[in-house]
Chain A
Amino acid sequence: MDLVFIAQDCINGVLMGLIYGLVALGLTLIFGVLKVINFAHGSFLMVGMYVAYWAVTLSGLHPYLALVIIVPAMFLFGYWIQNLLIRPIFIAEKNVREPITVIIVTTGLWYVLDNLALLVFGPDYRALAPNPLKGQMLEFGEIFISVPKLYGAIATLATAGGLYLFLQRTRLGRAVRATSLDREAASLMGIGQWKIFNIAFGIGTAVAGISGAVLTPFYNVYPTVGIPFDIKSFVIVVLGGLGSIWGALVGGVIVGLIESVGPNFMASTWTEGIVYALFLLVLFVKPSGLFGQKQDW
């Protein structure tokens, strides 16, 4: 076996893993604040990819420039979904800390969004056009690096860093953290729970939008495109620790590496088994994940 191949697979694994981490970032952020898993997160990614696809198709912008349209559009989408659809359930079950009905509603939303996409856009696989990043490679001797994936990995680090600074350094970020730790105490400090929930949902959805812009240059868009990413995101956030930004990135890289390096040593169907085995192992051994804080949610 050639070391160059392994190095190549490692690079691919890290790049793709970071992009998985980006998708998981939105999920982990929403969980961190609302304490409920958003089962529609994959569908939000799908919406983000279609928004990116159409923003680029209609405006002719570079997909990364189109972020100026995608991010606010997706933020507002998530903000209003939470405000109109999820908040009423929290209010109806205000004595339940993690209302199971929210999970049911987000699952319903997943089906509705995926089927709406099928209805409106049809089942076609759509490739981004114009696509300035199409098939671009950087060459280092025998090693090739996919430019769109490299850009995606950089976008992931920038997004995670930006989120971290927002949460640590700003008034609103501090309010988001306070709400995630103790909603009631936060409201006693003048921090409105529902506004923070809306904003957190908006940000998580905007991150799904960024993921959409990152993925479309090398990944086709279709109505159920969110599902494989959705499942990976759950695994990743559990690996890294629910609610942890850096945990999502590390979890993503672990999954990316197993997926890309693993097939050198075994049939590639086995790699998925390893990912899930690791998922279960973490749940058994350290349920708070690699970076999760051991505390009462």
Chain B
Amino acid sequence: MALLDIENVNVAYGDVQVLFDLNISVHEGEVVSIIGGNGAGKSTMLKTISALMQSSSGSIMFDGKPMHNLPPEEVVNHGLVHVPEGRRLFSLMSVRDNLLAGAHNKKAYAVREKTLEEVYTMFPRLEERQDQAAMTLSGGEQQMVAIGRGLMACPKLLMLDEPSLGLAPILIAEIFRTIRAIADKGLTVMLVEQDVKHSLSLSDRGYVLEHGRAAMEGAANDLLDSPYIREAYLGI
């Protein structure tokens, strides 16, 4: 059984349906990319998994338990953690307080000092800036805080929504390296991205989302080699 199982999920904003009979699964230890253009429904999918949005039908099972009837704050308790698009840091709070706020759930709070140390080891720059307000950081540093804050919640599955958004190419490479390093420690990752090349090259599997439907799925390497992906997403 998969760690995360999304079955026949339909989601709408009012009258406008955005996700159609979506089926996606993520196995333990995998890195899965969800790629797709603007407005394909990638963020909507993540918001539905983390219960910020309600699906109109379908089921979302995590670790064998249904998530689709829980409020977002309880989904986190199960280890399903969503790092939202655009970072969404607590702007006036210090870097350290942002990270600690991530460790709000009881299990994570008990080990917060240890996790904080791990995050600082991964992002030494954040330790240097721990007392600075989050809004004063550069875009790359803010993304590090966003990922670090997600890690502070002690996830079993970390869902990242466009971590490369708005970053310079050199920082993008660094962020993707970090994500790979996080996965190498054994954490399961679901990576939503428009940077198809980078994200597929560090993933095990991938899904292509188009107009709210899973248009393709497969091993990341196969997707990278597929003529359709090469033409539509990589422009080769």
Contact = CB atoms under 8 A, between A and B. Distances in A.
Interface of A: 171, 174-175, 177-178, 181-182, 184-193, 293, 295
Among A175, A187, A190: residue with most chain B CB under 10 A: A190
Contacts of A181: 90-93
Interface in B181-199: none
A73 B10 CA distance: 46
B73 A178 contact: no
A191 B101 contact: yes
Nearest to B108: A190
A91 to B, nearest CB: 11
B144 interface: no
Contact of A187 (B72, B83, B97, B108): B72
A174 B97 contact: yes
Contacts of A174: 93, 97, 100-101, 104
A175 B74 CA distance: 15
Given A171-B109, A191-B73, A192-B71, A185 B104 contact: no
A187 B73 contact: yes
B52 A189 contact: no
Interface string B101-116: 1101100110000000
Given A189-B102, A192-B73, A295 B50 contact: no
Among B50, B73, B77: residue with most chain A CB under 10 A: B73
Nearest to A168: B97
Contact of B91 (A171, A189, A193, A295): A295
Contacts of B108: 190
B73 A185 contact: no
A184 B71 CA distance: 11
B35 interface: no
Contacts of B100: 171, 174
B89 interface: yes
A158 B76 CA distance: 36
A189 B153 CA distance: 7
B53 to A, nearest CB: 11
B82 interface: yes
Contacts of B73: 187, 190-193
Contact of A188 (B82, B91, B93, B109): B82
Contact of B84 (A188, A192, A193): A188
B50 to A, nearest CB: 6
Among B72, B77, B83, B105: residue with most chain A CB under 10 A: B72
A177 B71 contact: no
Contacts of B50: 188
B92 A187 contact: no
B92 A189 contact: no
Given A174-B97, A182-B90, A190 B71 contact: no
Contacts of A193: 73
The 3 closest A-B pairs by CB, nearest first: A190-B76, A185-B88, A192-B73
B95 interface: no
Contacts of A187: 52, 71-73
A185 B90 contact: yes
A193 to B, nearest CB: 8
Contacts of B88: 182, 184-185, 188
Contact of A178 (B74, B90, B105, B109): B90
B149 interface: yes
Contacts of A192: 71, 73
B149 A189 contact: yes
A175 B92 CA distance: 13
A190 B102 CA distance: 8
23 contacts: A171-B100, A171-B104, A174-B93, A174-B100, A174-B101, A175-B104, A177-B101, A181-B90, A182-B89, A182-B90, A184-B52, A184-B84, A185-B90, A188-B50, A188-B52, A188-B76, A188-B81, A188-B83, A189-B102, A190-B104, A190-B105, A191-B101, A192-B73
Contacts of B83: 188
A192 B71 CA distance: 8
A190 B77 contact: yes
A185 B91 CA distance: 11
B89 A185 contact: yes
Contacts of B76: 188-190
A295 B76 CA distance: 28
Contacts of A189: 76, 101-102, 104, 149, 153
